[in-house]
Structure 1
Amino acid sequence: MKTFSLSFFSFFIAISGWSEDRPNIIILLADDLGWADLGYQGSNDIRSPHIDKLAKNGIRFTDGHVSASVCSPSRAGLMTGRYQQRFGHEANSPPSSDGMDLKQVTMADRLKKLGYRTGLIGKWHLGNQEEFYPTQRGFDYFYGLRSGSRSYFYNAQKDDKAGNAKAIEENGKRVKFDGYLTDVFGQKAIDFINTKDDRPFFLFHSFTAPHGPMHATEEDEALFASIENTKRRSYAAMIWAMDRAIGKLIASLKESGRLENTLIWFLSDNGGATGNASINLPLAGHKGIKFEGGTRVPFFAHWPREFKKAKEFNPMMISMDIMATSLAAAGEKQSALKKLDGVNLLPFLDGQKDKPPHQYLYWHKLWFSAMRDGPWKLIYVQDYGYALYNLEEDLSESNNLIKIEKKRSDRMIARLNDWKAELEKPRWDEAQVWFRTHSKNHIRIIEGE
């Protein structure tokens, strides 16, 4: 078959409307995965052969970020292609009565209008009430949990009791499951992609792994007996199970002849957490804060039909780009992407455009903010002040240049404040304990303690 450039391919499917040429689209989202905790990221004790193979045969984003360093707002940015702060989804974990702004159009909404069937397997975390339910937000099918995290085994007395937002549901009905939850999610994903239907599919496979609680099967933990830290041993086993589920999904795609034209994205919702024995080194920080360890995540795209040559993509990009890029691949008109903060990466990946997709990126949650201007990174901590780093020379953010680079920092502070002035007021808050905890964490790193 003749190989077309990505830009020509996007134009072709846009004018033809041929569903046969539109790719299936899969997002594989890990939860609280550490930067260094995959084989292809250099880990010596974590084994992830199926993920590694995908990454090594795809486009690896070395400066790939999420729009928030915690679960719910990160997902809101991913699902809308917009800075979630623009619609008040700034703090984590919406209260039981609230959720992602109903005026926002999701990636599932958009792809459904383009003729895709849409499914979500796993964690939602964008609202517990019926009006926020996945099948009300563009998904034809949902199997998973409404809220944040839960046991990896069925528990009728706790997580799976009636009325618990952590209970496993299938299209609105509470269901019982047998076995280990990551394996269950994996099989449900395979069932979804194998549903007899001529339409292309969009699958959002939103794992709970390796978010706590640190539950793994005895068999999987035994594979990592050499890891002395018991929590990290469980963490490694949880990643192993996620990798196994991904491997089976890929095998099913390959067996049915659909792998070649399936666009697969892999990333984590934020950096590794302090409580799951993850490793973000050499990045500073972790989940919940604005250092690179909170927002820079393992991130790659795999699409054999169009990404003929595996490579690293070093310019900075962000999870919001997934929506714009996927819509473009599905045939959406470029004019329909203008209201997104995310960028269609296709012309950057095939060399049609040689400038970085983003000059500036922004992060903000309640008391803490950050922005990028190319390699320069500005961090703000309420009641403390600012720090400035040159990531090109100091990826670990250990050398604060705020006093040396005053003109640059003043320009960046002004730009960051201008961006923040555009945002909607947060629709809910977080407990002050998180301000105290994360303020200390930011200051500790800034001051080199």
Structure 2
Amino acid sequence: MWWLKNVKIVDLESGSTQVRDVLIEGERILEITESLTEKEVQNKSQSEIQVIDGTGKYLFPGLIDVHTHLREPGQEEKEEIATGARAALKGGFTTILAMPNTKPVLDQRALVEFVSNQGERAAGAKVYPIGAITKGEEGKELTEMVDLAAGGAKAFSDDGREVQNAELLRLAMEYVKLTGLPLISHCEDDNLARGGSMHKGEVSARLGLRGIPSSAESVMVARDILLAEETGSKLHLAHISAKESVELIRAAKLRGVDVTAEVNPHHLIFTDEAVAESNYNTSYKVNPPLGSAQDREALLEGILDGTLDMLATDHAPHTWEEKMKPFAEAPFGIAGFETSLAAVWTYLVKPGKLPVEVLLRAWSLNPAQRFNLLGGKVQPGEIADLVLFDPEQKEKIESKWFTSKAQNTPFLGQELQGFACMVWVNGQLRLGK
């Protein structure tokens, strides 16, 4: 049994914080109360009692990351399921969903089961695979989604690409209803985005880089929302980055469309000016690209008012050799597992821009509910996927600090504040002592 004393628990509705003692027995939270004596705890369990003094620390529900790239199978030089799952733990994540754009693509049941099995062996965060919508993510022929769901897929996506054929995507939305699972859309019009390496605007013009217009995302957001509305399918929109997209999602929700959406921390923290200010640092090259200050403001407003339901890292590890290429040639992506929570705390929560309860709803409760996962609540009887979070802990982000194979992050060299110091998965301590 674990006895966590004097931890701060946040009410996800009111935002109020209470100091409580928490007991963990087996895989579940046994009790939450104002205070306990040693005798009271001993009477509740015959097992060894391990006591943690959590004074000054928060007890968060384990974070759930619905958008990650673990690279295995096929690109293990960038990341492996084991290294990714353990890096996720370090960042406070107890559950992660793995995108299917591996080599080969997760378009067959055996591959979906492989990812699940590798995740179980990793003893890190729980790993659940996302199956591909189309075979090979080629946008031509649908996968056997029902079979992939039976093999453990928690959703379907061609992430890294968008299904350009509207007729095929509409058919996928009809088919996916047989599974009851969401379809995740990577909203990007290939014709508008092709050849671009950053947001199209004044900064890209000044830097001489070909830009990707916001419309490359928003036209597909509009299309996919209309198709979901017509078919009654569950739609989740990945990595929203444009103010126009936020407006479209807000309007769709008012109409009752079954749509949810996520935003990445880097889109809430940085703008396209970061590319110029960093002298073309490729750690700021992401897809969708960092937008304007107006986009960032709209995204923050969207997460605050619930238009954007979730935070997601879009953990996209790459080798140093790849990221050392010229900006236009380097791959898109940020390695986000280990730094995202601290970055959000440092840049958004600490300055008062993002309330703690909004962070926890967006990174735990809402993902659990949308993707039918355990977790999201610190309540008696709930699964003990928990994070002891120290809001005062500071770390300088250095190469030697990473558990992930990748270090392609704009936070390298910075000091961030607010880190997970202990993490439990199914009641088992997997990070910390």
Q: TM-score range by the shorter chain?
A: 0.3 to 0.5
Give the alignment's TM-score, normalised by structure 2.
0.34
Give the alignment's TM-score, normalised by structure 1.
0.33
Structure number with the bigger relative contact order (C-alpha 8 A, sep ≥ 6) is: 1
